[in-house]
Structure 1
């Protein structure tokens, strides 16, 4: 068991530093809203990971392989990120045009823990690539653990524990910047995060445009021309 835990913890550490929308939003939440808000957001992310792990473990390999490469899912997730990022960016620009009153500042800093957890869950669950990642881990690690359920459970609990502990460290470091924030800086951070979400949304949309999809479109265009 100890060997399984020690093998899992580095994976959790590396997973925590994988660049993505969740990574940047977690840091933003920590800086702008504080430790508890960031932890709540992170728990929503981990819940989505648990859902993906269960799907990857209990579903057949062929089913997951077909789902994880489904262009419609990449398009759906990408559109959500792009739309969310655009709406958030426009909202911050409108606030910046007006005088940033104390009430508006308090609205930005308001902590709705349920919404934060839901936000973390959704941002992670819409990235179908994460499902493919967990499937690859199960396929790689499962045989090494003799497909023993208790060992696999221990391994993934350790991975998620390592992930959470590393995120707590990141949250604590990011939180140190909070005392230096002004209202204007908060708006700038939220604008930057909005742009990052749009970029990652476009990346997801691009993943739907696979070589096979391009070939299919070209074939259809050629048949129409003929």
Structure 2
């Protein structure tokens, strides 16, 4: 049991540092809205991961295998990211309320909205689906299809991933004292550009034949 958990923890830690739209959005949320808001956003992200894991494990292997290379998934997911990125970029020009010394007043927090954003930003990334499918198929076989061992393994991954994200959130929050309206605008514009780039990458990968996609390519798309 302990051996399975020790093998899972590095995977969860590594996932937390994979560069993607979720990574940047989590840091942005922590800086602009605080640690509590970022944690709620991250819970939404983790919920999407859990849905994928359960979906892959409980009798959906064939269905996921059939749809994971469907180019339409890349086009739809990439298109949503591009639209989201454009919205973030242009909304960064909105006038932000500030104090007399020029620092930004914390934005109002819609925790349900943050949870939903985290869930769908992760859920629309086809790379996440492909990653968990490969993990579930590979791990289930390696663990002799022992349900208890599989459950512990993926639980350890999710917990390690979430705890590492909390560490990132706390570190990002330390930058809050340095925020000014100009810095906020630059952060939001940068986030918008990053989302557009990730969206374009997904769309381009939709034109790549499935047989030319390696496992390394799939992992590169995760988060």
TM-score interval, smaller chain = 0.7 to 0.9
Q: Which of 154, 179, 199 is the aligned partner of 2:197?
A: 199
- Native 8 Å contact 2:86 2:192 kept in 1: yes
- Native 8 Å contact 2:98 2:181 kept in 1: no
**Alpha-carbon distance, 1:102 to partner:** 3.8
Question: 1:72-113: CA deviations, max 9, x gaps?
Answer: 1111111111011112211223x2xx5x4449x55x722111
Tell me which stretches of 4 or more aligned residues in structure 1 moved more than 4 Å: none
- Native 8 Å contact 2:69 2:210 kept in 1: no
Which 5+ residue runs of structure 1 have no aligned equivalent? 214-226
1:155, 1:109 → 2: CA distance?
38
**Alpha-carbon distance, 1:61 to partner:** 2.9
**Alpha-carbon distance, 1:171 to partner:** 0.7
1:210, 1:195 → 2: CA distance?
23
Deviates more, 1:145-154 or 1:52-61: 52-61
1:41 corresponds to: 41
1:127 corresponds to: 125
Superposition RMSD in Å: 1.7
Query: Which SS does the other structure have where 1:109 is aligned?
Result: coil
Structure with higher helix content: 1
Matches within 5 A, 1:156-167: 156-167=154-165
- Native 8 Å contact 2:44 2:118 kept in 1: yes
Count residues with an aligned counterpart: 207
1:166, 1:18 → 2: CA distance?
12
Query: Which SS does the other structure have where 2:156 is aligned?
Result: helix
- Native 8 Å contact 2:11 2:157 kept in 1: yes
2:65, 2:11 → 1: CA distance?
22
2:76 corresponds to: 76
Which 5+ residue runs of structure 2 have no aligned equivalent? 212-223
**Alpha-carbon distance, 1:212 to partner:** 6.5
2:113 corresponds to: 115
